[in-house]
Amino acid sequence: MSEETTSMSLLVVLMADECVGGWIGGSSGRFDPVPINGERKVKLRSVERAFSAIADRLESEAIEFSQLNWIVDKDVLRSLDKPLSDYLAGTSLNDRLVWSQLLAWEAITSFYGLEIDNPWQDITVFEKGVLASFLRRNIDDTPRGNGEDVEHHKMEMASNEEAERQRLLARIRQLEQQREALRQHDLERLITYLPALYQNIFEVVSPQDLALQAGHIMPPHVPNPFPEPAPETLRRLQRDFLAMPVEIRREVVDFARALAQSERLKVRNEMRMHLDNLGV
C-alpha cells in the first residue's frame, strides 16, 4: 500500500441494507476501500463482528487512523443499545480511536438530495459524491493536544453518543413523516396515470382500496364501472407519464407494485419496457 494510503487517518464504516463496508481516507480527499474477507462488502451479521473484521484487516496492513465516521441506516440505528466503545471492545480500533461521529444514511440522502434509498445500489454516487465531500469537510477536525486532551475528548464523545443517536432517530422520523405527507398528495396522480400503465386497474383495485393504500380516507370520485380510456387518451397519458421526472414515475410504479392486489395487475404491453427500465 502506498505511503499516502498508510498515512490516511479517517475510517468510514457504512452499515446499510444488511451489509457493511469500509473506507480509509485522508486530507487530500482520496480514499480506498477496506476489503473485508476479500470482499468490498459483506453481510452484516452483527455490529461487533463487523468492527472486528475491519480491525483485523487494518491491523494486518498496518493502516493507521484516528477518526471514525460511522454511517448507519435506520434499521441499524434503531438496533443500537450501547455506546460505540462497547461495540469496539476487544478490537484494536478502540485503543486507536480519538474522534468519531455517528451519521444516519437517511439524513445524508436528505442533505445531499439523493434519490437512492440503498447506497449499495450505486456505490459510485456514495464514493465520488458523498464520501469525497465528507472527507474534505471532516478530516481536519481531529482533536490535537496532549494525552489528557485526547482522553477528555473521548469522555465527551462517549457522553454525547446517546444524545446523537436520539437526535438522528428524531430526524429519521421527521423525514419519514415528510415522505408520507408527500405520498398523501399523489392520489390524483395515481388515479390519472395508473390506468395508462395497467389494464382495467379499477376492476382489480377499487377506488376505495386505492385511496386507503395511498393514505387517504376519502375515496376519489371515479365512475363505477370505470371505462377503459380511448386509444387517443391512452397514448396522451402515456406520453405525459414518460415525460415526468424519473423519480415521480418510479413513485407511481412502486406504489402499484406495493398494492395488496399487485399480482393481479396486468401491465399494458406498450408500457412494459418502460416499466422494466425503471427497475421494477
Chain segment 203-235, per-residue pLDDT in tens: 999 888 888 888 777 778 787 778 888 999 999
Q: What is the pLDDT of residue 77?
A: 84
Alpha helices in the chain (DSSP H): 3-6, 47-60, 74-79, 84-88, 92-96, 105-112, 123-125, 132-138, 147-184, 187-197, 201-204, 207-213, 231-243, 246-258, 269-277
C-alpha cell at 25: 481516507
**pLDDT tens by residue, 235-275:** 999 999 999 888 888 889 988 998 989 899 999 999 999 99
Average pLDDT over residues 32-37: 87
Give CA–CA dist 267/247, Å, rounded. 19
User: Average pLDDT in the 54-74 region?
Assistant: 86
pLDDT at 83: 78
- Provide the pLDDT for residue 141: 45
Residue 94 Cα distances to 56, 67, 133, 235, 266, angstroms: 12, 11, 26, 62, 55
Cell of 168: 438522528
What is the average per-residue pLDDT within 109-116? 75
* CATH 3.30.420 boundaries in the chain: 3-180
Phi, psi of 57 (to 5 degrees): -65, -45
What integer pLDDT is reported at residue 27 of this predicted model? Answer: 59
pLDDT, residue 197, reads 94
In CATH terms, the fold of domain 3-180 is Nucleotidyltransferase; domain 5 (3.30.420)
